[in-house]
Structure 1
Amino acid sequence: MDSLLPVLFAVGAALSNAFATVLQRKAALSVPRSDKLRAGLMLDLLRRPVWLVGIAAVIAAAVCQAVALATGPMTIVQPLFVLELPLALVIATVLLQGRLSRSGWAAVCAVVAGLAVALLAASPEGNRTHAPMDRWIPALAVCAALLAGLVTVALRRPEGRGRAACFGLATAVSYAVTAALMKTSMHTLDDGGVTAFLTTWQTYGFALFGMAALFLLENAMQAGPLVASQPAITLGDAGVSLALGITIYEEHVRGGWWLPVQLLGAALIAAGVLALSKLPLARALTGEDGEAAAVEAP
């Protein structure tokens, strides 16, 4: 049962995030378009119960992720977040009265099947709660340098797929580092209480990287099409989280002949996410196709 706990909470976090995405999009569609300032838009949204429920779902997702990371390895928890996009699309077919085509459902199945194959083949193990500074320093240095490089490349490129992909990868790195820092911070809260939580550097680290992730995500969505940014975010987060779980927390995955099976699972996930990000319904959820109907032909 203990081994299922982080899985259940990670899936719950992905589901809550997906639910929040759909509800916030539904609320945005209910607000009349105008030339109001952003503050006016926020006042309009605050009057929409569906938007407030969406915010509650975001909070629930954060709590679920924190519990998942506190009870299980990163190499299990973070890859499960690839379910967020297919879950959002399935929920949107109901709440936004959209429709997934057969190819859309096939892509959803590819993501789910690929994730199952990859995790079963990898069979992640290990769940250290803390890591020494000689592991944190090089890991954070590499991630910070990677972030700086991706943002620099993105800013030098014109708007389009390349710029969106770079910002998407930068967002993924920020998400992964946030999760790694949150894991230790949550264990500190459990072991030492609120005082220890507020005095450990990881708490402020995950808050900083979390804010950076939100900022970079907004830039990724504005820089180019979803088909470029979403795969970079989804696959990048899982990949970097896997690397951090192994290098910082000494988690283990199976090698040998299991590696080709893991790569097969990863390929299925990548193909599914890429196909889903091309769907009109997915672009409607992000506001990329503001005038398009969120309905697909069967």
Structure 2
Amino acid sequence: MMVSWAMVSAAVAGCVLLLVHLVLMVACAPLARGLLAAGMARAGGAERVPVLGRWRLILSCARRHGVRAAGGAEIVPGAALAVALAACVLVPSFALGLPGGGLSDLLTVSGLLVLARLLPLLAALEPGGARAGLAAAGDVTALAAMQAVFPLAVAAAVMASGHGGIDALLVRLRDPDMGGGRVSAMLLALALLLAGPDVGPGDDVRAADMMVDLGGRGRAAMELARDLVLMGWITLAGDLAWPGGLAVPQADALLPPAISLPGAVAAWLARTGVICAGIVAARVVVMGSARGTRGRLVLALLFATLAVVVLFADQEVA
């Protein structure tokens, strides 16, 4: 069976777009964390925090030669970064139909994002340091509680599209006759934002304590992986909340038209900024106390349950 030049050129162009997508995700991940830090400092009346501070920290760590971690913890930073990159590859940012879109399953992506956050806990527990171990134990408790929302999120996606594929779900949500599915997707986006990212009170302190025994490139890899996980959750929630901003292939085409891509990139950047502003507002209003983790869990479960209920009601009406 002969392969046409059109298919080969489309595959090459798709790989280029996928590379652009990954580069943008990596470049913007520390900026998103920097925006959150700057916004929270401003809202709390603290000293001004530079938006580029995260990138400066990562690059500064990468230039230094840190002490090699002991035992299995030596491979954890690289593994966490690889898992976070894999998750970000599967989360659509500005276009659908890119290579690997068929593997972009909500359960797979959520699992990779959770795994990328769990791996640093292993690095913190391995050396046996009290400070890192206590921080890891606290993060394990918070993370385990937050995972209760993900089965409901996957159930809502399956009900909306017939399976958990993210690309198929987003294409379905762009349908004008989707009805209650759009409301359900908005609720699902809110649930994921509350359950996934480590943006609650004390999360930054625990992350710093867990990495206290890391240095050099290992610390840089772990910091970047943490930012990529945050970017993955923000992008996934933004896709669900506003799928109309994504560029999609036209009929009988493998890739979106080139003319639609600049606008789609701008839409992705805009919704990322809006979500960061919303997280800052939620941090001040909902997560500003020591009970922030409990409040996040209750709200996340509430929104995820409502997403399923709305879909049930919509199907009953239909």
- TM-score (ref. length: structure 2): 0.31
The structure having more radius of gyration, on CA atoms, is 2
Structure with the largest fraction of helix: 1
- TM-score (ref. length: structure 1): 0.33
